[in-house]
Amino acid sequence: MTPTQPTRLDAAHFDSKARQWDDNPVFRERGLKIAEAVRKAVPLHRQMNALDYGCGTGLLSFPLKDELGAILLADSSRGMLEVVAEKIAAQGVNNMTPVKLDLLSDPPPAQRFDLIATAMTLHHVPDTNHILRIFHDLLQPGGYLCIADLDREDGSFHGPEVDVHHGFDRAELGRRTEQAGFADMQFQTVFSITKERESGSRDYPVFLMTARRVGA
Ligand SMILES: C[S@@+](CC[C@H](N)C(=O)[O-])C[C@H]1O[C@@H](n2cnc3c(N)ncnc32)[C@H](O)[C@@H]1O
């Protein structure tokens, strides 16, 4: 039998997951832990314009909403954005705006940001160097980039049928981030996801990389 080709998890996949996303306590705790680490690493303030890229249901930026100015929540999945919009309305939040956006195919927003944060999304974006350059161009000089994602793994996190990056080697991602025009790259482990495998349980660490845009 010919092995099936791995496929990307597209917007339709995330649409189908959106309604149940916040029911997962691991996803909720992961968002809280990443937010806590962002809060410690970046001097947040109410004048800061932020972009949460690949926001999903907003599990990263809802915990930070009272410490930031305007927050643009961008995702390519309409289903995720519907859930975000409902949460914003239910909580009466006035500084969060959901937008359907895939920075690899859509025109970038006209505004510039003081902070771009992205959680568990980079491994879904095929061209890492390209998205890093786009993040660079969307940030104000001195602006902060916060990327949370999986450390390099063997592909077992998603399984062989899924076409994603198998996490990231920290040193290599740091070099690529520097090449895209950033400095002050710092890495820390912020969370660990445990999955049960045939061979026993397996931990997949999640890092947070913080960096600053240099130059004008
Ligand atoms: C694993 S989920 C993480 C969601 C959320 N950040 C969290 O931590 O719960 C990845 C998210 O990235 C979005 N995504 C994947 N590729 C994207 C792209 N090219 N542009 C924008 N969003 C994308 C998906 O729709 C999904 O909501």
Structural domain boundaries enclosing 86: 11-213
| Residue 2, in any domain of the structure | no
Residue 109 included in any domain = yes
Residue 148 CB: number of other CB atoms within 10 A? 26
Q: pLDDT tens across 78-118, in order? A: 999 999 999 999 999 999 999 999 999 999 999 999 999 99
Distance (Å, whole) CA 50 – CA 95: 10
Between strands 71-75 and 96-100, the pairing is parallel
Residue 141 lies in a domain: yes
The domain tally of the chain equals: 1
Closest atom, ligand 1, to C-alpha of 103:
20
CATH of the domain at 61: 3.40.50.150
User: Coil, strand, or helix at residue 17?
Assistant: helix
Q: Is the pTM of the predicted complex or chain greater than 0.85?
A: yes
β-partners of residue 98 are: 73
Q: Which residues pair with 148 in a beta bridge?
A: 119, 208
Q: Is residue 178 part of a domain?
A: yes
Per the CB < 8 A criterion, the answer to whether 137 and 71 are in contact is no
Give the whole-angstrom CA distance, residue 132 versus residue 97: 23
From 9-13, 59-63, 64-68, 180-184, the region with the lowest mean pLDDT: 9-13
Tell me the per-residue pLDDT of 122-177, one tens digit each, with 9 for 90 and over: 999 999 999 999 999 999 999 999 999 999 999 888 888 888 999 999 999 999 99
- Share above pLDDT 90 across residues of the chain, in percent, rounded to a whole number: 88
Does residue 6 sit within a domain? no
- Two tokens, residue 157: 């996190």
Report the atom number in ligand 1 closest to the C-alpha of 77. 25
Return the best residue to mutate from 64, 124, 147, 157 for the ligand 1 pocket (most ligand atoms within 8 A of CB).
124
